[in-house]
Structure 1
């Protein structure tokens, strides 16, 4: 251990190498409560590419595992430490290196916070669309690692669609570049897409070239109340089938609404079974909202309330962004699922989750990026109650099984991490799993990068 610390300090400032157990312990896990985490040997906080290379060369020489981290806002345990590892925190690499309005790109380091980038490019009349609920805390590197989504994915897509190129430090310390900064490019295998969503298991992203969009007009939203989550799901199908392209289409069930009200005192309607939020950032959002409101009423909405101002619309968005913290504030702890199904199966997914909640006698709050079928059932339980914990795990697994049965996937944007390793194997099948493991061996033959995640 002393050799590891000394070698790290040979190429890093003293303040970048943390060894106090009380401090390093605070870097042990992300926000996934139900995932195991080990005890790191050391935490390093580099500021330069060369310092990251030094860390990886040291790790390779001494055969020490490395766990890359961003802001640790993840929900699958992908950033959790393993025993004796080097935690490589990239939060100090937080520079926006370039914003090019003509090329519509930004070049950033991995520690740049999503909201910081969004505001910076906004000053140039540009827009970086991926917006996870944790956008005020999460980093671009973490977003790339998990291929994060967000509230506006229904219109603008997910992180992977905006990553044009990467600089990556490999397990042995070599630096490689992938992708491009041009609008088009098909030279060779698409390694940029391979790294995006790899959860730090193939290399360390130290720079990213990101595509930008023109800044859209401010959006207006509406809230539609439904007597059941299934009716809200039916409204979603009607909206998408009719050809509308909302900038946001989000769903919250009754349990979630009550939790958000308890946390923020926002006055959301607790008597309804489901609340659907729809927003448009078009030239005439009022007309779009009127049309969507009529579709909601046809699907059984009991009330449709359009926001009259952008400020009112933003309040609705803030309510949706606060869901994770609102459910976490309930007694006990939570397991957050991330099952994505075809839009046409959304109502079945919601009905099935309600049945699972009743079967296992547990509170399960559901919110969803309804426009792309990405549901987030959150299982609430008492971790000190052995029987309740067992039922929570079984309910969680039942929800994932339901998602696969409906033609979906076990994760739409949170990643696999520790939480869903067994389910990844089921979704990929034996051939797919074998090939993915072999790809990892090419980039990380010693198995040092984020061990115990994904497979």
Structure 2
């Protein structure tokens, strides 16, 4: 420990090192339940690329594991510390280095908050679409590490589609530049995409070139009430089948609606079994909402209410954004699943999840990026009750198994981390895991970067 600190101090300012055990303990884990976390030896908060390189050279010399972190808003344990590790927190590398309206790119450091970047590019008439529910607190580096998505994925896609290039500090301290600043480019293997979603296991992202879009018109939102989740999912299928491209298509089940009302008195209709939110940011959103409203009515909606203005629309979106927070308030702990299935099987996913909730006698609310089939079943339980905690874990596994049975994936945007290691092996198979391990070994032969994650 003393040797480690002495070596780190040779290339870092004193304020970049945290050794107080009470403080370092607060960096030990992210927001996931049921994920083991170790005790870090030290927390380092660098401000420059050179400081990150110094940390990695020191770690390689002394064979000390390094766990990269952002804002620790993750939900899979990917940012959890391991015993004796260096926690490398990148939150102080938070500069927006460039915004180019001509090239439609932004160049940023990893600690930039998603919402801060979004507002900054808006001032130039541009738009950075990925918007996770935690966008006010999560960092771009964390978004890249987990390949996160958000509410607008149905039209604009996920983080991976906006990362053009990266500067990455490798395990041995070398600096690698991947990708490009140009609109297109296919030179060599796509290493940029390889780092996106790698959860800090291949290298430390210290700079990113991000693609931007022109800022669209303000969107208008429609809310549709349904007597069943199956009817709401039928409406989703009709909307997509008819070729509509909403900027948002979100579903909240009855449990979620009631939780939001209990937390914030939003006045959402508690009699509904499913509430579908659909938005358009087209030149004539009212016409698009009218067409979608007719499809919702045909699918069995009991009420269809289009917002009259952007302020009403934003109120509805706030209700959806606080869904996870509201469900977390139902009991003392939650497990938030992240199963994505083909849109055509979304109804089966919700029906199966309801059956799992009944089987395990648990409250499980579901909010979903319905437009891309990404469901977030939230298992609410009392963590002080051993039996209820056991049932919560078993129900979580049952939901992931259901997703795979329906031709889906165990994670659409939260990542694998510690929580889903076993399930990644089931999804990828023996050959897939073998190749993944080979890639890891090529970038990190000593296994120092975020050990114990993914597989």
TM (normalized to structure 2)? 0.99
Deviation sequence 1:277-311 (CA, Å, 0-9, x none) = 00000000000000101101111111111111100
Deviation sequence 1:1-56 (CA, Å, 0-9, x none) = 01111111111110100000110011111111221111111000000000000000
The residue that corresponds to 2:346 in the other structure is 346
Q: Distance in 1 between matches of 2:273 and 2:36?
A: 34
What aligned pairs does 1:298-313 form with structure 2 within 5 A after superposition?
298-313=298-313
What aligned pairs does 1:167-246 form with structure 2 within 5 A after superposition?
167-246=167-246
Q: Distance in 2 between matches of 1:86 and 1:324?
A: 31
The residue that corresponds to 1:59 in the other structure is 59
Further displaced range: 262-271 or 338-347: 262-271
Cα drift, residue 323 of structure 1 = 1.1
Residue 266 (structure 2) pairs with residue 266 (structure 1): yes
TM (normalized to structure 1)? 0.99
Please list every run of 5 or more consecutive structure 2 residues that lacks an aligned counterpart in the other structure: none
The residue that corresponds to 2:93 in the other structure is 93
What aligned pairs does 1:126-165 form with structure 2 within 5 A after superposition?
126-165=126-165
Q: Distance in 1 between matches of 2:95 and 2:122?
A: 16
3-state secondary structure, aligned to 1:340:
coil
Aligned residues: 455
Deviation sequence 1:215-241 (CA, Å, 0-9, x none) = 000000011001111111111000000
The residue that corresponds to 2:31 in the other structure is 31
Residue 73 (structure 2) pairs with residue 73 (structure 1): yes
Q: Distance in 2 between matches of 1:11 and 1:227?
A: 62
Q: Distance in 2 between matches of 1:209 and 1:259?
A: 39
3-state secondary structure, aligned to 1:261:
helix
The residue that corresponds to 1:322 in the other structure is 322
Q: Distance in 1 between matches of 2:300 and 2:347?
A: 13
Deviation sequence 1:172-192 (CA, Å, 0-9, x none) = 000000000000100000000
The residue that corresponds to 1:336 in the other structure is 336
3-state secondary structure, aligned to 1:192:
helix
Q: Distance in 1 between matches of 2:381 and 2:352?
A: 19
Deviation sequence 1:339-388 (CA, Å, 0-9, x none) = 00000000000001001111110000000000000000001111121111
Deviation sequence 1:66-87 (CA, Å, 0-9, x none) = 0000000100000011111100
The residue that corresponds to 2:290 in the other structure is 290
Q: Distance in 1 between matches of 2:101 and 2:165?
A: 17
Q: Distance in 2 between matches of 1:207 and 1:261?
A: 40
Cα drift, residue 332 of structure 1 = 2.0
3-state secondary structure, aligned to 1:439:
helix
The residue that corresponds to 1:122 in the other structure is 122
3-state secondary structure, aligned to 1:367:
strand
Q: Distance in 1 between matches of 2:221 and 2:212?
A: 23
Q: Distance in 2 between matches of 1:88 and 1:330?
A: 33
Q: Distance in 2 between matches of 1:119 and 1:73?
A: 20
Cα drift, residue 325 of structure 1 = 1.0
Cα drift, residue 263 of structure 1 = 1.2
Further displaced range: 441-450 or 323-332: 323-332
What aligned pairs does 1:366-445 form with structure 2 within 5 A after superposition?
366-445=366-445
3-state secondary structure, aligned to 1:375:
strand
Q: Distance in 2 between matches of 1:52 and 1:436?
A: 25
Further displaced range: 319-328 or 277-286: 319-328
Cα drift, residue 98 of structure 1 = 0.4
Q: Distance in 1 between matches of 2:272 and 2:229?
A: 10
Q: Distance in 1 between matches of 2:299 and 2:21?
A: 56
Please list every run of 5 or more consecutive structure 1 residues that lacks an aligned counterpart in the other structure: none
Cα drift, residue 111 of structure 1 = 0.3
Q: CA RMSD of the aligned region, Å?
A: 0.6
Deviation sequence 1:230-271 (CA, Å, 0-9, x none) = 111111000000000000000001111111111111111111
3-state secondary structure, aligned to 1:275:
strand
The residue that corresponds to 2:84 in the other structure is 84
3-state secondary structure, aligned to 2:10:
helix
Q: Distance in 1 between matches of 2:72 and 2:220?
A: 32
Q: Distance in 1 between matches of 2:429 and 2:346?
A: 24
